[in-house]
Amino acid sequence: MTREQVETEMAQYRTIFTVVRLLDAAQVGGEESINSFCSCYSYWGKNTPCRNCISRQVLEDHRQRTKLEYMVSEVFQVTAVYREVDGAPCVMELVQKLDGETLIDPENGDRLIDSITRYHTKLYHDALTDSYNRLYFEDALKDKTDPAGVAVLDLDDFKLINDTYGHQAGDMALRTCVDVVRACIRKSDVLIRYGGDEFLLVLPGIERAAFLAKLDRIRAQLHTASVPGYSRLQLSASIGGVITQPGETVEQAVSRADKLMYQAKNRKNMVVTEDNARDGALSAAGRESHSRQSILIVDDSEMNRAILAEILGSDYNILEATNGRECLAMLEQYGTGIALILLDIVMPVMDGFAVLSEMNRNHWIEDIPVIMISSEDADTVVRHAYELGVSDYVSRPFDAGVVYRRVFNTIKLYAKQRRLIHLVTDQIYEKEKNNLLNVVKFLDNPEKINSEIQNLDDSIEVKDDENMAIVTKNVDINGQNSGKIAVVGPKRMNYKKILASLEYVAKTLKQYYEQQGKDDDDE
C-alpha cells in the first residue's frame, strides 16, 4: 500500500474508532518516540514498553491481535493490524474507548472485533469465491517489487459453461477453480480474482523451477477436477507466468504474464512461460494441439455450427459445411484427414441421409465415423440413420458434455480399430512364412486361397460360390464355437484387408459377449 492508500483506509476506520494511528517498525520496537499521536508509553501512563505489546507481536507474525488497556479509570480496547506501506512493515493501531454505552456486556469486545473483521473481508475479498479481489491487488500488491512468481490464469470456455449449464454452474466452476488452486499453493502465496473468470497468482520468493512445476500442477489438477453438482463439466485453464525482474513491480509483471496467457489461450489447457515461449518448448497438452484431429460439422444453421465449434474447438480443428454437397466436396478434399463428421439431417441442396448414402457408395463410412445430431427423434428416423452406418445419434437439445464425450470416444474407438487392423494384418503376414505370402497371388482362386489360409488359421474358410467368394470365420466365446461371421464378395477381393477385419470383429464380439456374461453373473 502507498502512504496515500493507507491514509484513506485510516480515514475510514476513524468513523468507528476513537484513535487510529500508524506505527513503523522502529516506533514499535521502542527505538523512536511516537510523535504522530503522542508518546506511546506516556499515553498509557507507563515508563517502559508494555509487556503484552500486541503491535510488536503483529509485526513479527502479521496476525491481527486485540487487547484491553487500562488508564486510570478508563478502559480502552486496542486492535493491532499489520500493514506494508511503500514496502516498509508497519502496524496500524485502532483504539476504542469503552464507555458506558459500549461496555454493556462482555460480548461487546467480540462484537467490535467481528465488526473489524467483517469490514476488512468485505473490503478486500471476493464475495463469491472468498479469494482476494481486485481492490486488494490495487491497494496491497501492485507496487511491490519483491522477487516473486506472477501468473495470470483464465478459465477456458467459461462463457460456454454459463450459456450451456447456467450461471449457477459458472459460479460453482469458479469456486472449484479457487479450491483447486488453494490446494496447490502455500499460505504465503496470494490468489486474487482479478475479474470474471480471470485470476492472479503472486508467489513471493519462489524459485523458477518450483514456479513452473506449480503452474503445471495447477493446470493438471484443474483439468481433472470435479465440479460439484455438474459431473459432466470439465474445467481447463490457460496460464501465463513470469518471474519478476529486479526493480519490477507486480503490476508490470502482471502485464507480461497476461500476454503469455493469451498465447496459451490459442491452444487452451496449457501453461506458457517466458521459458517455453522463447525456446518453443510446449507442455504435453501443447504438443498435442499441433497434431489435433479435424472434425467436420455439417449443418445449415450457423448458430448450431457455432455451438458445436465452441464445445469442440479447444481440442479439435473445426471444418464447416452448410449442406450435404459441401460435405462431400470436403470429403473429396480431405479424405481420412477428417477424423469425424457431425451431420444434420434436414439441410438444403442435399440432406444428411443422401450424404450417408454417398459415403456408403464410396466406402468412406468404413473409415470416417459419423455422429448424427438432429432434432428429428422419431424411431424410424433414428433406425434409418443407424442402418446407413452412423456411429451414434444425438438428439437436440443436447448436453455439451455428452456431445464432447461421444465425439471423443468415437474418434478414440475408430483410431483403436485402425491400429488393431494394422496389427492383425502384420501378425497374419508374420505367420505367412515359407511362401505363405503367395496367398495374394491367387486372387481369382478361392480354393487355393483357402488351402493356404487353413495352414495359418483353421477357423477361417474361403468358399467358391459360382461368381462369388465367401470368407467365414468362427467366433469362439468362452471356449465354445458360437457361430460364424462372413464376408461375401467377388472372387478378386482384397483378402488381406478382409482377413484383418474378420479377425478384429471376431475378437470384439468375443470380448463383448464374455463381458455380458460376467455382468449377468454379477446381477
More confident residue, 419 or 128: 128
CATH fourth-level superfamily of 292-411:
Response regulator (3.40.50.2300)
pLDDT band at 249 (very low <50, low <70, confident <90, very high): very high
Reply yes or no on whether the pLDDT at 281 is more than 50: no
Q: Which pLDDT does position 378 carry in this prediction?
A: 87
Q: Which pLDDT does position 365 carry in this prediction?
A: 86
Q: Which pLDDT does position 217 carry in this prediction?
A: 92
| Average pLDDT over the chain, rounded to an integer | 79
pLDDT band at 445 (very low <50, low <70, confident <90, very high): low
Least confident window among 223-237, 401-415, 429-443: 429-443
Distance between CA atoms of 299 and 374, rounded to whole angstroms?
9
Reply yes or no on whether the pLDDT at 375 is more than 80: yes
Provide the residue type at 429 as one letter: Y
Q: What is the bridge-based pairing of β-strands 338-343 and 294-298?
A: parallel
Domain ranges of the chain: 3-124, 134-289, 292-411, 432-522
Mean pLDDT of 27-56: 59
Distance between CA atoms of 301 and 323, rounded to whole angstroms?
10
Q: Which of 68-82, 151-165, 217-231 has the highest mean pLDDT?
A: 217-231
> What 8-state DSSP symbol labels residue 445?
-
**CB-CB contact of 214 with 203 (8 Å):** yes
Q: Which pLDDT does position 440 carry in this prediction?
A: 43
More confident residue, 147 or 48: 147
Dihedral sign, Cα of residue 273, residue 276, residue 279, residue 285? negative
Distance between CA atoms of 64 and 89, rounded to whole angstroms?
14
Mean pLDDT of 241-249: 94
Q: Which pLDDT does position 60 carry in this prediction?
A: 85
Q: Which pLDDT does position 426 carry in this prediction?
A: 47
How far from chain centre, in Å, is Cα 311? 13
Q: Which pLDDT does position 140 carry in this prediction?
A: 79
> What 8-state DSSP symbol labels residue 350?
S
Q: Which pLDDT does position 504 carry in this prediction?
A: 75
Mean pLDDT of 172-185: 94
pLDDT band at 61 (very low <50, low <70, confident <90, very high): confident
522 strand-pairing partners: none
Q: Which pLDDT does position 35 carry in this prediction?
A: 42
Using CA atoms, how far residue 519 sits from 44, 386, 505, 513, 515, in Å, is 81, 26, 21, 10, 6
Q: Which pLDDT does position 237 carry in this prediction?
A: 92
Q: Report the CATH fold assignment for 134-289.
A: Alpha-Beta Plaits (3.30.70)
DSSP SS3 for 433 = coil
What are the strands of the beta sheet with 294-298, ordered from one edge?
Answer: 317-321, 294-298, 338-343, 370-374, 392-395
Q: Which pLDDT does position 37 carry in this prediction?
A: 40
Q: Which pLDDT does position 289 carry in this prediction?
A: 40
Q: Which pLDDT does position 48 carry in this prediction?
A: 58
Least confident window among 257-261, 304-308, 499-503: 499-503
Q: Which CATH number describes the domain made up of 3-124?
A: 3.30.450
Distance between CA atoms of 81 and 58, rounded to whole angstroms?
7
Q: Which pLDDT does position 471 carry in this prediction?
A: 82
Q: Which pLDDT does position 21 carry in this prediction?
A: 87
Reply yes or no on whether the pLDDT at 248 is more than 50: yes
More confident residue, 1 or 105: 1
For a pLDDT cut of 70, what percent of the chain falls above it? 76
**CB-CB contact of 492 with 444 (8 Å):** yes
Helix, strand, coil tally for the chain in percent (to 5): 50, 25, 30
| pLDDT per residue as tens digits for the range 251-280 | 999 999 998 998 887 677 889 998 776 444
Least confident window among 228-242, 372-386, 509-523: 509-523
Supply 515's cell numbers. 463381458
Mean pLDDT of 437-459: 59
Q: Which pLDDT does position 112 carry in this prediction?
A: 57
More confident residue, 46 or 447: 447
